[in-house]
């Protein structure tokens, strides 16, 4: 049965990649066929495997953050951040990276940030002489790191997957901080090395031609302050509880904080303040990602029920030396990420193995969770992945698109992969 469930997961990924049909839909079908007809589960038991909490949290948080997208707050904020660095072209890679990080951390999400930041970045590369690969890596990994922030889309998904795997909520929050820190700092190191070692910083000269963006409108300022307020609330409670573990008040407040419910309250406030159109906000939600994550979650739940995850963890623990396990997980995640979504497939498939394997081998669960995400996101800039394809789609002409394809495939993706594996090795020996 374990072999059948593994094959079903692989087949769902292949079919989704080949047909461009959402992988989650194939996963739901396989979960039903295997669960009901091969394992004897009741249909109601299979339906109950739908990860309702993860769905609710992603839906609620993305709904609130969508107001800042539909009324133009985040796009205008991005323009102001880039405009502030117009007089220092050598800071451009960092400006692009930090702008993408901030906008993604404020809830725009990875794909949305790339959609409106990648064209701007490629245009700035032409005007200032910044290397296309440097600009592409800055915007791609900035968007990824920001989305991994604890209160942003990817960070919330990682926390939900960890708690589903049996990790305590507070521990999951700490683990998500480590994931964010690793995926934020690693690209900064890579960008700096690329600038200094290759001397590319010397090619950035003159003043960047960036039009001064318009001031934030009153509704946009309200949206910005409301977004910052929600981020402060959902982060303050767990941080206070970690800083004051014996304080009853901090523990009580933290026990009542749920980011999904808080986001729902803030969505109502946004609607009452008329900060955006309700229908546009709902339409802008990442429905394909939600279906993929929850559909794959059902299939993974069937695999857990069949004992597949425990058997895979036992096999890995008995075959691979413990010191190489985090590196191995990073490599597997990187390969999977070439053809499948990190959020929808890679982490839902690999995260459930971590608690048992970490306990068996005496490894840090935080290290393994971080290694998986670092590895999975390393290859996201490949032209075959969603991030790389979005950057390619932003190229203004066919000649640049062809040149960019080769550079992303043969330079950016290998560089990201090597940097991620070295990071995972370093983290293994440091923890």
Mean pLDDT, rounded, for 37-57: 92
Q: How many domains does the chain have?
A: 2
Question: Could you give the CA distance from residue 117 to residue 212 in angstroms, rounded to a whole number?
Answer: 16
- The residue out of 266, 285, 304 marking a domain boundary is 285
What integer pLDDT is reported at residue 265 of this predicted model?
96
Among 155, 159, 157, 163, CA closest to 182: 155
- The residue out of 240, 267, 285 marking a domain boundary is 285
* Per-residue pLDDT tens digits for 294-322: 998 899 889 888 888 778 777 887 788 88
Same domain, 86 and 147: yes
- Are residues 293 and 50 in contact, defined by beta-carbon separation less than 8 angstroms? no
Domain holding 20, by residue range, is: 1-49+287-430
Same domain, 382 and 253: no
Same domain, 240 and 324: no
Residue holding tokens 């205008």? 76
* Per-residue pLDDT tens digits for 356-403: 889 888 899 999 999 999 999 988 888 777 777 778 777 777 777 777
Same domain, 405 and 297: yes
- The residue out of 239, 254, 285 marking a domain boundary is 285
Most confident of 74-78, 100-104, 191-195, 204-208: 100-104
Question: Could you give the CA distance from residue 282 to residue 391 in angstroms, rounded to a whole number?
Answer: 26
Same domain, 418 and 329: yes
Question: Could you give the CA distance from residue 299 to residue 350 in angstroms, rounded to a whole number?
Answer: 13
What integer pLDDT is reported at residue 202 of this predicted model?
53
More confident residue, 226 or 338: 226
Same domain, 292 and 272: no
Tokens of 2: 């374990």
Same domain, 310 and 376: yes
Same domain, 204 and 267: yes
Same domain, 270 and 324: no
Same domain, 104 and 20: no
Average of per-residue pLDDT values in the chain: 86
Same domain, 260 and 334: no
Same domain, 274 and 362: no
Among 429, 343, 419, CA closest to 385: 343
Question: Could you give the CA distance from residue 399 to residue 405 in angstroms, rounded to a whole number?
Answer: 10
Question: Could you give the CA distance from residue 209 to residue 89 in angstroms, rounded to a whole number?
Answer: 10
Span between the terminal Cα atoms of the chain, in Å: 36
- Are residues 175 and 409 in contact, defined by beta-carbon separation less than 8 angstroms? no
């Amino acid at each position: 049965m374990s072999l059948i469930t593994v094959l079903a997961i692989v087949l769902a990924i292949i079919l989704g990649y080949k047909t461009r049909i959402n992988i989650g839909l194939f996963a739901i079908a396989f979960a039903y066929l295997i669960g009901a007809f091969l394992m004897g589960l009741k249909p109601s038991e299979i339906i109950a495997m739908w990860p309702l909490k993860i769905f609710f949290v992603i839906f609620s948080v993305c709904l609130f953050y969508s107001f800042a997208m539909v009324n133009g707050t985040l796009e205008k904020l991005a323009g102001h951040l880039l405009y502030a660095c117009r007089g220092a072209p050598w800071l451009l890679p960092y400006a692009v990276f930090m702008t993408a990080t901030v906008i993604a951390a404020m809830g725009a999400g990875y794909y949305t940030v790339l959609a409106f930041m990648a064209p701007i970045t490629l245009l700035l590369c032409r005007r200032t002489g910044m290397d296309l690969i440097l600009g592409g890596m800055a915007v791609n990994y900035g968007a990824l790191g920001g989305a991994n922030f604890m209160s942003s889309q990817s960070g919330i998904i990682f926390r939900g997957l960890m708690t589903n795997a049996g990790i305590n909520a507070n521990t999951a929050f700490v683990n998500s901080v480590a994931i964010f820190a690793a995926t934020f700092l690693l690209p900064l190191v890579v960008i700096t090395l690329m600038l200094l070692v290759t001397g590319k910083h010397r090619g950035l000269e003159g003043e960047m031609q960036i039009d001064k963006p318009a001031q934030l409108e009153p509704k946009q300022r309200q949206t910005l302050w409301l977004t910052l307020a929600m981020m402060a609330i959902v982060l303050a409670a767990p941080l206070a509880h970690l800083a004051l573990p014996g304080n009853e008040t901090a523990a009580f407040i933290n026990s009542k904080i749920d980011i999904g419910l808080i986001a729902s309250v803030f969505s109502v406030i946004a609607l009452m303040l008329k900060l955006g159109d309700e229908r546009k906000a709902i339409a802008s939600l990442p429905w394909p990602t939600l279906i993929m994550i929850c559909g794959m979650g059902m299939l993974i739940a069937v695999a857990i029920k069949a004992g597949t995850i425990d058997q895979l963890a036992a096999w890995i623990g008995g075959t691979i030396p413990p010191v190489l396990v985090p590196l191995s997980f990073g490599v597997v995640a990187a390969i999977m990420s070439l053809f499948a979504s990190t959020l929808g497939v890679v982490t839902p498939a690999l995260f459930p193995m971590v608690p048992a394997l970490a306990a068996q081998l005496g490894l840090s669960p935080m290290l393994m969770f971080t290694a998986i995400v670092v590895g999975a996101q390393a290859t996201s800039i490949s032209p075959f992945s969603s991030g790389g394809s979005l950057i390619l789609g932003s190229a203004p002409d066919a000649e640049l698109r062809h040149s960019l394809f080769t550079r992303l495939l043969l330079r950016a993706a290998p560089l990201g992969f090597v940097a991620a594996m070295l990071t995972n090795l370093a983290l293994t020996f440091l923890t």
